[in-house]
Structure 1
Amino acid sequence: MAFGSEFYWFILIGLGAQLVDGALGMAFGLVSSSILLGMGLPPAAVSASVHTAEIFTTGVSGASHAYFRNIDKRLFWRLTLSGALGGVIGAYVLTRLPGEAIRPFVYVYLLVLAVLILLRSFGRFVPKQQIRRVPVLGFFAGLLDASGGGGWGPLATSTLLAGGGKARTTIGTVNAAEFVITLAVSLTFFLTIGLQHLEIVLGLLIGGVLAAPMAAYLVRHVPERVVLTVVGVLVLCISLYHIGAAWLF
């Protein structure tokens, strides 16, 4: 099977997106989708391809985080079961409804979380206790991810970090849980629209798989304050971009 020159760009996109996602616990879907859409690819093809590739990239990423002992097992199961349920419901129901109406509120929520994470990184905000209702968080993060893509990491990671979660284990656990959520969502999409655009999927997959171990290594060895600062800035940019886009368009 012969692929065109764009195939190598897909590999680079997957590699860059997974480096960000594996090190910060979010943004594979956001980074890869944004670039692919900018290349003029159809939105449906982008969404299906990114979710399919994420089955493999999140699997390798989760295994890499497990190898470097970045996973909290109790948190993993509390996130995973409810997140998979939310993802399946989102893939079946929300993709057929006008879900864009709630997105501005989600990004306002992320904006608040970004501020809290940045305050925490500078020692100005110390949560008294960690998030208790993790299954509820997992359910809505899975729901958001399936309804539009890219919602799992920003919502789950940001909420847990703002609530006092340790950066290394929070990011590692969210990445590992994402494999199960992505598998559930992708299987649902596969049963409804099938598998298409193999070139995009393979390119993202190869780049993401190559980057996953490097990202897991980085999150274990980079100081927590640095990780919190970068995550806070990233979430701030994501939320401001989407809030601005909602107001402008």
Structure 2
Amino acid sequence: MSYFLLFVLAGFIAQLVDGAIGMAYGIINTTLLLSLGIPPVVASASIHVAEVFTTGISGLSHAFFKNIHRQLLIYLAVPGVVGAVTGAFVLAHLSERFAKTCIVIYLTLMGLFILYKAIRMKSTAKAAVTFKKSRIIPLGLLGGFFDVAAGGGWGPIVTPSLIASGIEPRYAVGSTNFAEFFVALFSTIVFILILGISVTSWQIFVGLLVGGAIAAPLSAYVARSIPRKIFTFIIAIAVILLSLRMMVKLIFF
């Protein structure tokens, strides 16, 4: 199998998971690309630019399957962009280890809380469709900031927080995915035009993009189809495993 097909496969797997549960695109792609011997800088640059396109396709797919809450999308996207652009400028001055430590603590607590809610949730329970703007806007700012400053965090921070607040998982995942398009777009523009970061391997970028484009509609359908209780369990376990992985890397590497 050629390297290009492996890049397509990596993009497909990462987008399938991210589009369905709202997180882990960067982690999965980074893990797979590094295992293929791709330099970290090249992998990171390729993933971020490919993410602009894959999140756009994923967002439109979620909109097609009616997984988007319009107001929620706006309240996440606008502050998310502000947080991401701010994060891009302070990246050189913020300790990456400190930022990731904060995310690990937050994710662990949030994952356990969502798991607790999933255990107590009745199969017929109705999810919330209303929310407070005063809680969503700071969440978007925080998610956008750490996504850039700590090299990832939009999905893991925003999605579980929305679900923990009682918002239906498919709306939380769909709205978070679509909002991430705007976050990825503006942060990439800042990196390329202002900080001078560019993609150094078109083969990786195109491979991730093709794989992600194929997986996006399928992942949106999966998000719509999974029962709420099961979906909440999946999100909880994913968040806990993600936080444990980050914790191990912080302690031992």
Q: What displacement does 1:95 show?
A: 4.2
Contact kept? 2:100, 2:150, Cα under 8 Å: no
Contact kept? 1:48, 1:189, Cα under 8 Å: no
Q: What displacement does 1:96 show?
A: 4.8
Residue number in structure 2 paired with 1:182: 184
Contact kept? 2:42, 2:199, Cα under 8 Å: no
Give the AA of the match of 2:197. I
Q: Distance in 2 between matches of 1:93 and 1:47?
A: 18
- For residues 1-249 of structure 1, what are the structure 2 equivalents within 5 Å? 5-123=2-120, 130=131, 132-191=134-193, 192-249=196-253
RMSD after superposition: 2.0
If the length of structure 1 is used for normalisation, what is the TM-score? 0.93
Q: What displacement does 1:40 show?
A: 2.2
Unaligned 5+ residue runs, structure 1?
A: none
Q: Distance in 2 between matches of 1:133 and 1:13?
A: 35
How many residue pairs end up in the alignment?
Answer: 246
Runs (4+) off by over 6 Å? 125-129
Give the AA of the match of 1:175. N
SS in 1 for 2:142: helix
If the length of structure 2 is used for normalisation, what is the TM-score? 0.92
Contact kept? 1:95, 1:148, Cα under 8 Å: no
Contact kept? 2:23, 2:156, Cα under 8 Å: yes
Q: What displacement does 1:227 show?
A: 1.1
Contact kept? 2:99, 2:146, Cα under 8 Å: no
Give the AA of the match of 1:82. P
Contact kept? 1:130, 1:160, Cα under 8 Å: no
Q: Deviations over 1:14-41 (max 9, x none)?
A: 0000000000011111110121122222
Q: What displacement does 1:101 show?
A: 1.5
Q: Distance in 2 between matches of 1:41 and 1:96?
A: 27
Q: Which stretch has the larger CA shift, 192-201 or 117-126?
A: 117-126
